[in-house]
């Protein structure tokens, strides 16, 4: 043995002693029995009892343990090697790999595919490079299966392989296809409750979409393309189906999307609901009215009943027609007639007072209801009625009662004039129109088209017409024309006080106050009542609209007699 070889053996022996924990064995000669034992163990050769006895004799107990462990591992390696070969064969068969196909990464790839159910793109390409098309297809299915299990909450059941019903069920779920009863039962029986819940949600959505399609067809909305149940149209159609009132925004949406037929259906439904609600409301109101007017024995409770319409009129204080009264009499409900009359009279009395009297409640019902009713209907009053108005001081100039009364009188006597052609009616008609505050109509009745004064022979009548026409011109502020007519009247009948009184008022209106006093004095000389002249001056001050003019008149009067005309100060 050469020196170098001996050195190598010494080093090898030293390494083996270190490996098998035998460093306390001091002999380092390659000729040592221990070196032989350790070499045999290191090559996987079983040692004999003699060798174990030698180790025990040298108290190498730890070495004995390691050797026994090594021997066991060697046995395990042999067994495991066979197992790996068998495992590969099984994986090849499982993943459709021909037995003759061998490459270094085949086993790891198949093992990863079997345990993790997913390969990378580069690993798939490696399988494709080795023409393993079936294996690639299986890998693709497994990848899809793994993703589906995550998506449909089936990951906790790793033992379900792709050829189990689960894979096909998950694929159907992914395509939103309907499951058979057996398939849904299989999910339930195998504990896939979350997956089953997802399926139920799909079913609900599918049913909702089917319902949406039917509703679109039913309510003529098929031209709207969106099939999604999240569309506003779906909730609108469901409301229509349940006859729920649509919001204005929903009606606007239908119009904006030009779903006119659907909008029309919604409108009809709304009208129908409104009609039903109105009928129910009317029925409740009818019941209350029957109770209020003590006719509960009347069985008919429908809103289209004649009694309901009549009771509504009574409640709203509308006058009953002859047909209504006859119907009530026919059904023995005469008390309703009395109530209706009382309520109507009360309401009408309030209306008449409000229309003709400044303060409601000042007048007595009797006799003034009949008086005001006749005035309101445009009917002439009897003499007693006129007296009653004057007694209560209700025929004051300019009041509503006064103007209405004289309008009726003027209208009546105009008809009489047309019928009789009696010219003595003209001054009366003109006077009445003036008292009705319709001086233009007074001018019309006294115009040349109605009476030609030049052809009139009776000076008294001519003077009267000239005075009333002049007064009408004064009313409309045409004072010069009024003065001219009044002077003509005085010239024709110089003994009458009427032209003089009119001239006094006109002169005051023109600012000719001294002439006014002159003509008022002439009127007194001819029989005019001093009180009437005084009232004329009062009315003149009150009716002068121009403030400057009114002030001028008042100052003139106060200067003339401060005490007598003290009342005029309030018009300053």
pLDDT digit string, tens, across residues 462-519: 999 999 999 999 999 999 999 999 999 999 999 999 999 999 999 999 999 999 999 9
| Residues in Cβ contact with 473 at an 8 Å cutoff, skipping those fewer than 6 apart | 443, 479, 481, 482, 485
Rounded to whole angstroms, how far apart are CA atoms 459 and 479?
23
- What six digits make up the tokens of 388? 């009653």
The predicted structure's pLDDT at residue 259: 81
Q: Which of 30-39, 153-162, 391-400, 524-533 has the lowest mean pLDDT?
A: 153-162
What's the pLDDT score for residue 557?
Answer: 93
Report the alpha-carbon distance of residue 327 to residue 343 in Å, rounded: 19
Lowest mean pLDDT among 53-62, 162-171, 382-391: 162-171
Which of 61-70, 125-134, 300-309, 562-571 shows the highest mean pLDDT?
562-571
Q: What is the mean pLDDT of residues 249-274?
A: 83
Burial class (CB in 10 A: 0-12, 13-18, 19+), 489: buried
Q: What is the CA radius of gyration of the chain?
A: 63
Number of neighbours of residue 48 by Cβ within 10 angstroms: 10
Determine the pLDDT at residue 104: 67
Residues 208-243 pLDDT 10s: 878 888 888 888 888 888 777 888 888 888 888 887
What predicted TM-score, i.e. pTM, was given to this entire model? 0.53
Closest listed residue to residue 401, CA positions, set 375, 368, 435, 362: 375
Q: Average pLDDT of 420-442?
A: 95
Number of C-alpha atoms within 13 angstroms, CB side, residue 482?
24
Give the relative orientation of helices 513-525 and 530-543 as an angle to the nearest 10 degrees.
150
Which of 543 and 471 is assigned the larger pLDDT? 471
Q: What is the pLDDT of residues 338-377, one digit of tens each?
A: 888 888 888 888 899 989 886 656 788 889 999 999 999 9
Contacting residues for 93 by C-beta, under 8 A, at least 6 apart:
none
Residue 164 per-residue DSSP state: S
Residue 286: partners with Cβ closer than 8 Å, 6 or more residues away: 301, 302, 303, 305, 307, 308, 311
Contacting residues for 423 by C-beta, under 8 A, at least 6 apart: 451, 456, 461, 465
Closest residue by Cα to residue 510 from 553, 468, 571: 553
Question: Measuring CA to CA, which residue among 24, 55, 58, 26 is closest to residue 40?
Answer: 55
User: Residues 97-115: what's their mean pLDDT?
Assistant: 77
Mean pLDDT of the chain: 87
At how many degrees (to 10) do helices 61-94 and 106-116 cross?
80
Which residues neighbour 532 within 8 Å (Cβ) at sequence distance 6 or greater? 501
pLDDT of 257 reads 87
Q: If we measure between CA atoms, which residue out of 496, 466, 491, 459 comes closest to residue 481?
A: 466
CA distance 226 to 214: 14
- pLDDT tens, 170-204? 898 988 889 999 989 998 999 899 999 998 888 88
Cβ 465 vs Cβ 430: under 8 Å:
yes
pLDDT at res. 519: 96
Domain ranges of the chain: 3-78, 293-356
Whether residue 485 contacts residue 469, with contact meaning beta carbons closer than 8 Å, is answered with: yes
């Amino acid at each position: 043995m050469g020196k170098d070889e001996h050195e190598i053996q010494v080093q090898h022996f030293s390494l083996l002693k270190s490996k098998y924990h035998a460093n306390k064995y001091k002999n380092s000669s390659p000729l040592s029995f221990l070196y032989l034992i350790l070499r045999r163990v290191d090559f996987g050769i079983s040692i004999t009892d003699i060798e174990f006895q030698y180790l025990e004799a040298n108290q190498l107990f730890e070495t004995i343990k390691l050797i026994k462990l090594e021997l066991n591992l060697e046995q395990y390696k042999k067994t495991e090697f066979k197992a790996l070969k068998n495992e590969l064969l099984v994986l090849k068969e499982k993943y459709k790999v021909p037995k003759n196909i061998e490459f270094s990464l085949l086993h790891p790839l198949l093992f990863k595919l079997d345990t993790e159910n997913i390969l990378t793109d580069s690993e798939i390409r490696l399988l494709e490079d080795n023409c393993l098309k079936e294996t690639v297809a299986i890998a693709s299915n497994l990848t899809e299966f793994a993703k589906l299990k995550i998506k449909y909450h089936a990951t906790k059941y790793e033992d379900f392989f792709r050829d189990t019903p689960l894979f096909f069920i998950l694929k159907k779920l992914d395509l939103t296809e309907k499951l058979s009863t057996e398939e849904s039962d299989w999910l339930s029986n195998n504990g896939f409750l979350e997956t089953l819940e997802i399926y139920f949600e799909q079913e609900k959505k599918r049913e909702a979409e089917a319902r949406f399609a039917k509703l679109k067809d039913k309510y003529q909305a098929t031209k709207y393309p969106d099939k999604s149940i999240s569309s506003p149209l779906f909730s609108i159609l469901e409301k229509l189906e349940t006859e729920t009132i649509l919001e204005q925004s929903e009606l606007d949406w239908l119009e904006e999307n030009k779903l006119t037929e659907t909008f029309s259906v919604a409108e009809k439904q709304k009208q129908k609901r409104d009609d039903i609600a109105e009928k129910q409301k009317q029925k409740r109101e009818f019941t209350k009215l029957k109770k209020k007017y003590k006719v509960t024995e009347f069985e008919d409770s429908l809103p289209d009943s004649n009694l309901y319409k009549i009771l509504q009129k009574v409640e709203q204080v509308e006058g009953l027609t002859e047909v209504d009264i006859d119907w009530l009499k026919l059904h023995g409900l005469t008390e309703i007639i009395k109530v209706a009359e009382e309520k109507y009279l009360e309401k009408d009395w309030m209306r008449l007072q409000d229309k003709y009297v400044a303060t409601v409640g000042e007048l007595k019902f009797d006799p003034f209801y009949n008086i005001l009713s006749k005035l309101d209907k445009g009917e002439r009053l009897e003499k007693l009625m006129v007296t009653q108005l004057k007694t209560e001081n209700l025929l004051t100039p300019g009041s509503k009662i006064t103007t209405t009364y004289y309008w009726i009188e003027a209208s009546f006597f105009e008809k009489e004039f047309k019928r009789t052609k009696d010219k003595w009616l003209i001054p009366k008609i003109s006077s009445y129109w003036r008292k009705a505050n319709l001086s233009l109509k007074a001018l019309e009745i006294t115009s040349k088209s109605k009476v030609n004064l030049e052809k009139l022979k009776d000076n008294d009548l001519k003077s009267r017409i000239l005075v009333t026409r002049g007064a009408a011109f004064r009313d409309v502020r045409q004072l010069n024309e009024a003065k001219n007519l009044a002077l003509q009247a005085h010239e024709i009948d110089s003994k009458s006080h009427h032209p003089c009184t009119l001239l006094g008022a006109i002169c005051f209106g023109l600012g000719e106050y001294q002439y006014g006093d002159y003509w008022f004095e002439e009127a007194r000389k001819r029989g005019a009542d001093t009180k009437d002249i005084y009232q004329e001056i009062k009315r003149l001050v009150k009716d002068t609209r121009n403030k400057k003019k009114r002030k001028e008149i008042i100052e003139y009067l106060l200067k003339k007699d401060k005490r007598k005309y003290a009342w005029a100060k309030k018009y300053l």
